[in-house]
């Protein structure tokens, strides 16, 4: 497939996205909240390319998207008290959980031993993850320190030459996901966002 695939989510598009991500490509598509850069979480070269695109000089971790709680379990060192049950009752949703990363998780994906995880509400994202068979990286489309880009035309002109650009239909949240630290009890909100944490 030619580089720079554009379009919307559909079955054919999802299959092509999976092929491109599996081949080490970088894809831009909407999440439950804002547009994101995406690649295979296990593809270190692709992860570093996203870091380069964003201008991230510090080795901070990215959000990982999973399709279900069973897939998450293999990436988590431990669950604080009833955190797994709480998250299982919330996900899929625009809520990102901070949890302790398993020792096998690549250093570049975690920050101070922790990992940021979400099971997205958008069915298309979970289909992609299921088809690939593992989590994908997700991070806002912007240069580090700048506001996230919200128009696909701006994204293409700012970051040309990526594998996939998928536009959104309808109106997504302009807010990022709600960020909650589940390493402690009770969980602590670090950033209010698209999920209404009570």
Nearest one of 116, 165, 164, 113 to 137, comparing CA atoms: 116
> What are the pLDDT digits (tens) for 17-64?
999 999 999 999 988 888 999 999 999 999 999 999 999 766 667 899
Q: Evaluate the omega torsion of the peptide bond into residue 76 and state whether it is cis, within 30 degrees of 0.
A: no
The pTM (predicted TM-score) of the whole model is 0.91
> What are the pLDDT digits (tens) for 85-111?
999 999 999 999 999 999 889 877 888
Give CA separation, 175 vs 166, 171, 193, in Å: 19, 12, 5
Architecture of domain 5-191: Alpha-Beta Complex (3.90)
> What are the pLDDT digits (tens) for 120-163?
999 999 999 999 999 999 999 999 889 999 888 999 999 999 99
Q: Which residues of 161-191 are buried (b: 16+ CB within 10 A; e: fewer)?
A: ebbbbbbbeeebeeebbbbbbbbeeebeeee
Q: Would you state the torsion angle of the CA atoms of residues 45, 48, 130, 34, taken in this order, to the nearest 10 degrees?
A: -150
142 phi and psi, to 5 degrees? Answer: -175, 160
Residue 172's pLDDT band (cuts 50, 70, 90):
low
Residue 2's pLDDT band (cuts 50, 70, 90):
very low
* Neighbouring C-beta atoms of residue 133, cutoff 10 Å: 12
């Amino acid at each position: 497939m030619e580089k720079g695939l554009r379009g919307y989510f559909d079955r054919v598009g999802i299959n092509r996205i999976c092929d491109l991500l599996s081949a080490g490509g970088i894809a831009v598509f909407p999440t439950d909240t804002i547009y994101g850069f995406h690649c295979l979480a296990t593809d270190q070269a692709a992860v570093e390319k996203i870091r380069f695109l964003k201008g991230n000089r510090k080795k901070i971790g990215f959000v990982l998207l999973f399709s279900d709680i069973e897939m998450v379990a293999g990436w988590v060192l431990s669950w604080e008290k009833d955190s797994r049950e709480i998250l299982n009752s919330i996900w899929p949703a625009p809520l990102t959980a901070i949890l302790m990363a398993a020792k096998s998780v690549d250093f570049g994906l975690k920050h101070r031993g922790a990992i940021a995880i979400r099971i997205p509400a958008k069915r298309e994202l979970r289909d992609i993850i299921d088809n690939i068979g593992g989590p994908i990286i997700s991070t806002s489309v912007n240069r580090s320190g700048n506001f996230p880009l919200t128009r696909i035309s701006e994204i293409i002109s700012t970051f040309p030459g990526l594998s996939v650009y998928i536009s959104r239909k309808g109106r997504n949240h302009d807010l990022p996901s709600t960020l909650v630290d589940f390493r402690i009890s009770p969980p602590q909100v670090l950033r209010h966002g698209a999920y209404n944490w009570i």
